Chains A and B, each alone.
Chain A
Amino acid sequence: MNAGGTLLEVSDLTVTAAVMDRSLTLLHGVSLTVAPGEVVGLVGESGSGKTTLARSVLGLLESNITIAGGSISLRGEEIVSPAADRTVSIRGKHAGMVFQDASRSLNPLFTVRSQLAEVLRRHVPGIGKDQIAARSAQVLERMRIADTGRVLDSYPHQLSGGLRQRVAIGLAVVTEPALVVADECTTALDVTTQAEVVVLLRSLAADLGVGLLFVTHDLMLASDLCDRIAVMYQGEIVELGAVDTVLLHPEVDYTKRLLAAVPQWNGATSPHA
Chain B
Amino acid sequence: MTEAIAALDEVTPRRIRTKRARTSVFWLSLPLLAIAATVVILPLTGLLPDPNAQDLDNTLAPPVWLAGGTWEHPLGTGKLGQDILSQMVAGGRLTLFIGVVGALVAIGPGTLIGVVAGYYRGWVDIVISRLIDAQLALPFILIALAIIANRGNSLPVLFLVLALTGWAPCARVTRSVAMEVRERQFVMGLRAAGASEPRIVFRHIIPNLIGTVVALGSLQVGTAILVESALSFLGMGVLPPDVSWGAMLSAGQDVLTNAWWVALFPGIAITSVVLLVNLLGDALLTHNDPRKRKR
Judge: A and B partners, yes or no. Answer: yes
- Give the B-binding residues of A (Cβ under 8 A): 58, 60, 63, 88, 91-93, 96-97, 99-101, 104-109, 118-119, 122-123, 157, 168, 171-172
> Taking CB as reference atom, which chain A residue is nearest B293?
A108
> Chain B at the A interface: mostly helix, strand, loop or mixed?
helix
B92 to chain A, nearest CB (A): 36
Q: Indicate whether A107 sits within 8 Å of B193 (C-beta atoms), given known contacts A63-B122, A99-B188.
A: no
A210 to chain B, nearest CB (A): 15
Interface footprint category on B = 20 to 34
Contacts of A171 in B (CB 8 A): 189, 193
Question: Contact partner of A60 among B122, B192, B293, CB < 8 A?
Answer: B192
Q: How many A-B residue pairs have CB under 8 A?
A: 65
Decide: A92 and B186 in contact? CB cutoff 8 A.
no
Contacts of B185 in A (CB 8 A): 99-101, 104-105
A211 to chain B, nearest CB (A): 16
Decide: B189 and A99 in contact? CB cutoff 8 A.
yes
Decide: A97 and B189 in contact? CB cutoff 8 A.
yes
Decide: A107 and B294 in contact? CB cutoff 8 A.
no
Decide: B294 and A92 in contact? CB cutoff 8 A.
no
Q: Indicate whether A104 sits within 8 Å of B186 (C-beta atoms), given known contacts A63-B122, A157-B294.
A: yes
**B165-224 at interface with A (beta carbon < 8 Å):** 184-186, 188-195, 203-204, 207-208
Decide: B194 and A123 in contact? CB cutoff 8 A.
yes
> Taking CB as reference atom, which chain A residue is nearest B121?
A63
Contacts of A58 in B (CB 8 A): 191-192
Contacts of A122 in B (CB 8 A): 193-195
B26 to chain A, nearest CB (A): 22
The contact sample of 16 A-B pairs, CB cut-off 8 A, is A60-B188, A60-B192, A91-B193, A92-B193, A92-B194, A97-B192, A99-B192, A104-B185, A104-B186, A108-B208, A108-B294, A109-B204, A122-B194, A157-B294, A157-B295, A172-B193
Contacts of A101 in B (CB 8 A): 185
